[in-house]
Structure 1
Amino acid sequence: MNLQDRQVLKNLLPLIRPHRRKLVFAVLCMIVCSGSTALTAYLIKPAMDEIFVRKDIAMLWIIPPAFLAVSLVNALSKWGNDYFLKSVGLSVIANLREKLYNHIQELPLSFFDRASTGVLMSRITSDVNEIEHTVTTVFTGLILDGCSVIALACVVFYQDWKLALIAILVLPVAFYPVFLFGSRLRRFAVRRQETMGSLNVVLHESFSGARIVKAFGMENHEKKRFAEQNRRFLHYQLKSEWIDALSTPLMEFIGSIGVAAVIAYGGYQVVQGLSTPGTFFSFMAAVLMLYRPIKDLSRINSVLQRGVASTTRVYAILNERNSLVEKPDAPDLPPISREIEFRRVSFAYDEKPVLHDIDLKVRAGEVIALVGSSGGGKTTLANLVPRFYDVSAGAILVDGMDIRDVRIRSLRGQIAIVTQQSFLFNDTVRNNIAYGDIGRPERDIVDAARAAHAYDFIRELPQGFDTIIGEQGVMLSGGQRQRICIARALLKNAPILILDEATSSLDSESELEVQQALDNLLRGRTTFVIAHRFSTIQSADRILVVADGKIVEEGTHADLMARSGEYRRLYDIQFQK
């Protein structure tokens, strides 16, 4: 076992430790199983010599019941071993899956920007399941098969140590394929799991984007994408299975050389009267039984290589550090009463500059609109307020407190967000509105729905507020989905609001309904409105024009139109003047 293998087992030990009582029972069962297996081989000698050679009738009343008793003990111990070990394995993997999921939930948005959903799903499902198989197989092999080898070796040497040496000497040669194929198995295991991640990416994209696929007639293209990844996965599977399948028969053939030598030498001793048939057959039974756990031990390596590959990939995520560091003694952020200040703020995505030296003060209750060409930095500027990302330079302060010095949960608790993509869960309307606070009373949820102009259409749904709206709210129209999101923000009743192009994807009628709901939402809140439609922001207290990561213009709609600058140019383009 190399250093990486030991590191993998070291990572898994803390997860196994809480289940050590069950593991002790499993180990005890393994020891009993190994001992009863060896005893079964040993009982062949008195059965042959006393019953079939000496024809002792009394032994017929002793040896067969003894066989039954030993077999019963063996069966019960195997059941106990399988159950307790499987229980440990499943519990460990359930804990690991939950630990991995919880860790991913705590990682910043920058992690999700570079990690695809399909790959993350593969880590939590496919890789974790591979680890469960590794845990149970490796422990069974190391303990049950290891104890069986020791017990049967004792029987073999007790019966005839010279024959035992002949049988044992071939083992180093028989194990050679294990070490020969080990590194290749690991390499193919890594590629197989990586391909499974790519396969999940294709599945997730094609299913979640089913409307786009069908709208553009790309069903055959998606079939080809899936077929290509599926063939790659099959290729690496077959490579792994080819090596895995070859190692066992090769080892068995090499082992048969030892068996043939034992039969030749042992048979000669029986013919010459130097040994009894019972001793020989008991010895042969023990040798044949011995090769089975040895063969199983040889297969541990292939299982371990796959487990190492999966564990390495899982712990690569678990070792991801959260770049958003929260101070241990960070206080809660009091409700905003004065202003939000951007003080010489700069930001870069992976060293690519996005914002440069932003200085901005937003008064409490003020509505600020952010406009500009795509890629100018509008959304990034707004995303810095809830600390989805940390500034590269400068600071953002709320009432004079740097947001990096307060608890993140208390900061985000004061911010509600409505985005262009109205994300809804495959749950009831009620639970989607109350997502931020599931325990809110029914009357609060209904009031939020009324204020969002959503109550009337919700009441007409088949089960009203208890209607399951499907994945991403597929059962609702675009305007209805957006009003559910607005109701969710209203129910949160946060003093700071971010509207990220909340009406840009709606038709005129839906936009009017949503805009009425937004008017209720904006009332009395410090608001950042990111919009492409200039008709939705003309009533903003201030409009900021963001271009190339800088605020190039600032003022009311009338002021900016009068200047005939960047704002007027963008306005004229939209309205084709």
Structure 2
Amino acid sequence: MKKKFQLKNRHKVLISMIKENKFRLFLATCCMITVAGTQALAAYLIEPALDDIFVNKDTVMLTWIPLAILIVFFLRGLGMYGQSYFMSYVGEGIIRQLRDMLYKRITDLPLSFFYQEKTGVLMSRLTNDVNIIKNMVSNAVTGAMHDFFKILFLTVTIFYLIWKLALIAFFILPIAFYPIVVFGRRVRRVSTGWQEAMAELNSFLHETFAGNKIVKAFGMETYEKERFYSKSRNLFQLEMKSVVAKALSSPVMEIFGGLGIAFVIWFGGTQVIDGHLTVGKFIAFLAAVLMLYEPVKQLSKLNNVLQEGLAATDRVFDIIERESDIREIENPREIETRPHQVTLKDVYFRYEDEMVLKNINIDVQPGEVLALAGMSGGGKSSLVNLIPRFYDVARGAILIDGIDIRELSISSLRKQIAIVTQEPILFNESIRNNIAYGNPDASDAEVEAAAKA
């Protein structure tokens, strides 16, 4: 029940994104209809081209049919450009919004989230998974829409030309769609495993590159190489499972498609030989059936892309829907930037299932300097991380000038605090921007003073 509710909410989010682009989507749909309609019309024009020009020697049709074909293909070209441009605009816009939502959610989550999730996994969500969703939107959704219109118009055409033969040809379609559904489910399962393995590999690469000094210091290069080879082999095996599942759908479609076309030629040929059909009508019908076969076959490939995209969407929304355990009350209080009294009153802190801080009581007056000393892992960093609310206390309270920090605005609380980490972190920005990080409006004089401090 909870999973269905989550899926429903995810669909609402995606639908709301689509609605924001409804005008361009409408234009793209018009272009798709133009492409599908002109393709069906091109197939239909084969009948008068053969019967009137080549059989009946009609000189008037010799002028009009080529002109009509020229107009049809000109409109088809315009439609193809329009559908490609507008659907790409809609698709890229949705992906941009989704990427922005994901990054916003990740940056808003508390510090505990980043200790639970590996950096490489998060990077994989923002890059690999979002690109898979982009592929789904750009290829599967767009492809399904224009293939639907192609199938619709070509179906109308073949039923208009020879409805009895069309009924026989369509008898095979439901049988052909069954393996598409079966293989599609397998592709989605395998794709989920592949995406997890790719995220794990990205995480491994981040750890070994960031900790390269440690790897070399302990002579663990060979060990790390073997770990990489193992993860790479696992990724290869999952990729090949996905390839097999995708590849099996094509020969199945070819077999059923071949059966249908072979029967159409046999039955239609007997009708032409017996004089019940003209050559032009039958060739036009056969051309429409062959044109119809391609989008139907394409649906199997689009289904594979769709299943991969749905698996990636689940992974992305798992983070977007993640709730933060550091919450701000409604109408929090703001505090001025000045020296403050900091009081820890009967503070307890739990990390995972272990209580790492118990009954901590400290009172620091404005301007007073306090140093925390102790063995590694004794809880010094945990204690400091409680003050800016990177974590919340399990019991007790931390007070700023007698006010519980949970009643304060998180942004105003953190503006009171300067943190110097053990290892310096430099962003890919100018030196000035790195110094002024946290106060981008700082004047040059303030930046210079901070640099000299």
User: Which TM-score bucket, shorter chain as reference?
Assistant: over 0.9
Partner of 1:398: 400
- In structure 2, C-alpha distance between the alignment counterparts of 1:5 and 1:277, rounded to whole Å: 52
Partner of 1:278: 280
For the 8 Å contact 1:386–1:411, the answer to whether it is kept is: yes
Partner of 1:473: none
More helix by proportion, 1 or 2?
2
More strand by proportion, 1 or 2?
1
What secondary structure does 2:425 align onto? coil
For the 8 Å contact 1:192–1:237, the answer to whether it is kept is: yes
Task: Identify which of 250, 258, 261 aligns with 2:260.
Answer: 258
Change (3 A) 1:5 1:441: closer
Partner of 2:381: 379
Matches within 5 A, 1:106-121: 106-121=108-123
Amino acid aligned to 1:347? F
For the 8 Å contact 2:191–2:311, the answer to whether it is kept is: yes
Partner of 2:371: 369
For the 8 Å contact 1:337–1:399, the answer to whether it is kept is: no
- In structure 1, C-alpha distance between the alignment counterparts of 2:225 and 2:11, rounded to whole Å: 39
- In structure 1, C-alpha distance between the alignment counterparts of 2:51 and 2:449, rounded to whole Å: 91
Q: CA deviation at 1:297?
A: 2.0
Q: CA deviation at 1:392?
A: 0.7
- In structure 2, C-alpha distance between the alignment counterparts of 1:378 and 1:139, rounded to whole Å: 53
Which stretches in structure 2 are left out of the alignment for 5+ residues? none
Partner of 2:441: 439
- In structure 2, C-alpha distance between the alignment counterparts of 1:34 and 1:240, rounded to whole Å: 31
Amino acid aligned to 1:100? L
What secondary structure does 2:275 align onto? coil
- In structure 2, C-alpha distance between the alignment counterparts of 1:376 and 1:225, rounded to whole Å: 32
Partner of 1:200: 202
Q: CA deviation at 1:207?
A: 2.3
State the Cα deviation string for residues 197-237 of structure 1 (Å, max 9, x = none): 01111221222223333344433333333222222222211
Residue-pair matches, total: 450
State the Cα deviation string for residues 108-154 of structure 1 (Å, max 9, x = none): 00100100000000000000011111112233233211111111011
Which stretches in structure 1 are left out of the alignment for 5+ residues? 452-577
Change (3 A) 1:107 1:36: same
Q: CA deviation at 1:91?
A: 1.5
- In structure 2, C-alpha distance between the alignment counterparts of 1:93 and 1:210, rounded to whole Å: 34
Task: Identify which of 139, 143, 156 aligns with 1:141.
Answer: 143
Change (3 A) 1:329 1:410: same
TM-score (norm 2): 0.95
What secondary structure does 1:370 align onto? coil
Task: Identify which of 413, 416, 420 aligns with 2:415.
Answer: 413
Change (3 A) 1:416 1:7: closer
Q: Once structures 1 and 2 are overlaid, which stretch shifts more, 200-209 or 145-154?
A: 200-209
Task: Identify which of 263, 266, 269 aligns with 1:267.
Answer: 269
What secondary structure does 1:364 align onto? coil
What secondary structure does 1:343 align onto? strand
Q: CA deviation at 1:419?
A: 1.7
State the identity %.
47
2:50 is the alignment partner of 1:41:
no
State the Cα deviation string for residues 239-267 of structure 1 (Å, max 9, x = none): 11111111022112112111111111110
What secondary structure does 2:370 align onto? strand
Amino acid aligned to 2:103? Y
TM-score (norm 1): 0.75
Q: CA deviation at 1:5?
A: 7.6
- In structure 2, C-alpha distance between the alignment counterparts of 1:119 and 1:95, rounded to whole Å: 20
Question: Which of structures 1 and 2 has the bigger CA Rg?
Answer: 1
Amino acid aligned to 1:340? V
What secondary structure does 2:323 align onto? coil
2:85 is the alignment partner of 1:83:
yes
Amino acid aligned to 2:317? Y
- Larger RCO, structure (CA 8 Å, separation 6 or more): 2
What secondary structure does 2:343 align onto? strand
Task: Identify which of 299, 302, 305 aligns with 1:300.
Answer: 302
